[in-house]
Amino acid sequence: MAAQAPPVAITGLGVIGATGRGVSTMDAALQQGREGVGPLTLWQSPLDFPVGQYRGPRLEDHLPALNLPPTSRSDMLALVAAQEALQQAGLAPPALSMARAGAYLGQSVCGTLTSEAVYIGAKESAAAGDTGKRSYAGLLVHEGANTLDLMARIFGLPGPTLNFLTACSSAANAIGLAAEVIRSGRSEVMLAGGADSLSNIVFNGFCSLKVVSPDGPRPFDRQRQGMMVGEGAGVLVLESTAHAKARGAKVLALLTGYGHSCDAHHLTAPHPQGRGAMEAMAGALQQAGLTATDIGYINAHGTATRDNDDVEARAIAQVFGDRTPVSSTKRFFGHTLAAAGGVEAVVSVRALQLGQLPQNLGTRDPEPGLDLVLQPRSAPVNHVLSNSFGFGGNNAALIFSRSE
């Protein structure tokens, strides 16, 4: 169990995904109930399942001032979100360098979409009898390290950089452990979150597992049929409270608690009693010095798969009972995989700031035992918990608290 730790300030937020680019666009989508369910258009697929795809202007158009080398779609999603977060925080390369700033990022798909295009192109050329030389430079952006290298170079980050791959809890672990870097004194500022793009192998893989819904996810619905694969990025600027105060930064919220566990029950299935999930939530509460009754809202992982929702609902009920408002935002974004904890951290901080709880969109026949937020709800809260649970029993929970 984690010991109570000093809070870390959050001074910037950035997000992009199926709701569009930017926090204000996301806010409007959550308030209006504008779902992110839509057709796959990045490539032609015989599988007719919806996805949570970013559908705005070209990603390059959001990065006009940056002299970008070859980049993947995941790279650009991360850069767009990081750029927005840094602009809100009012931090530029000179200040970031002095603060020994670094970046922790959750990723799993990384540059796979680009690598797939290289492979498909080579295969088609070979089938056509083309024996000429081909460029394989696209393979250089395959690894997640490419994203961190770009972020460090573009934003001037001399501090620690690290990729996390703990499945769907990757970004939440990146945020929680980035806070530990600040508490240790190694850095005064950290960018933390996650980014993942759609790709053939991920989309086809989840379809082959028969866990994808034909009409989009309906979290915690008794008739739910499965998840929806999505893409996006969510990035937070974390600072020591002393550093934020010294430069007069506006503190949006505080990161007060982080808990993680690995129940290692099964390669894909969670522990049926939710032991790992409960341990992660309890650890976050302990580090924050809070009790279950202090939490005013839970942003659930809520993938809308049969087993995962059952287990998460059981774990929440064990720790919090049935009086804490709960919602999943997966119908807005899709399941953004390793980025989920970053995107949902932004959602959680905005719930604190605005006193608005996002609805559990898509649910028509709610499972009993949870206080599901079925319509946007005004409810000023002081502490919000965000869950991220991944394959292999990798579980993480974050607690965000009001800064006033």
110 given a catalytic annotation: no
Calculate ∠ Cα 129-111-51, nearest 5°.
Answer: 100
Identify whether 1 is part of a domain: no
In this prediction, what percent of the chain has a pLDDT beyond 70?
A: 99
Q: Which of 62, 142, 243, 301 is catalytic?
A: 301
Let me know: does 168 contact 337? Beta carbons within 8 Å: yes
Pull the structure tokens for residue 112: 């796979």
At residue 393, the pLDDT reads: 79
Catalytic residue among 62, 260, 271, 335: 335
| φ/ψ of residue 48, rounded to 5 | -95, 65
Q: Return the HEC string of 302-342.
A: CCCCHHHHHHHHHHHHHHHCCCCEEECCHHHHCECHHHHHH
Residue 266 known to be catalytic:
no
| CA-based torsion, 330, 335, 80, 402: positive or negative | positive
The radius of gyration computed from the CA coordinates of the chain, to the nearest angstrom, equals 20
Residue 170 belongs to domain with CATH number: 3.40.47.10
- Write down the pLDDT at residue 136: 86
Evaluate if residue 3 carries a pLDDT over 70.
no
Average pLDDT on 250-254 reads 98
Contact (Cβ atoms closer than 8 angstroms) between residue 15 and residue 22:
yes
Of how many residues is the chain composed?
404
- CA 56 to mean position of chain CA atoms: 19
Residue-wise pLDDT tens digits, 203-245: 999 999 999 999 999 999 999 999 999 999 999 999 999 999 9
Identify whether 383 is part of a domain: yes
pLDDT band per the 50, 70, 90 thresholds, residue 308: very high
> Would you place residue 1 in the very low, low, confident or very high pLDDT band (cuts 50, 70, 90)?
very low
* pLDDT exceeds cutoff 80 at 274: no
Q: Which domain holds residue 246?
A: 9-401
Q: What amino acid occupies position 175?
A: I
272 in a structural domain: yes
CB atoms within 10 A of CB 369: 14
Strand ranges inside 224-337, DSSP E: 232-239, 253-262, 297-299, 325-327
pLDDT band at 268 (very low <50, low <70, confident <90, very high): low
Distance CA 311, CA 317 (A): 10
The total number of structural domains that make up the chain = 1
Question: pTM of the predicted model, to two decimals?
Answer: 0.96
pLDDT at 133: 82
Q: DSSP label at 247? A: T
Write out pLDDT tens, residues 311-368: 999 999 999 999 999 999 999 999 999 999 999 999 999 999 999 999 999 999 999 9
Q: Which of 62, 168, 271, 383 is catalytic?
A: 168
Between 154 and 272, the higher pLDDT residue: 154
Structure tokens, 358: 């996002």
What average pLDDT does the chain have? 95
Q: Is residue 3 part of a domain?
A: no
pLDDT given at position 53: 98
- Whether residue 2 lies inside any domain: the answer is no
Number of C-alpha atoms within 13 angstroms, CB side, residue 322? 5
Task: Report pLDDT for 199.
Answer: 98
| pLDDT, tens digit (0-9, with 9 covering 90-100), for 162-204 | 999 999 999 999 999 999 999 999 999 999 999 999 999 999 9
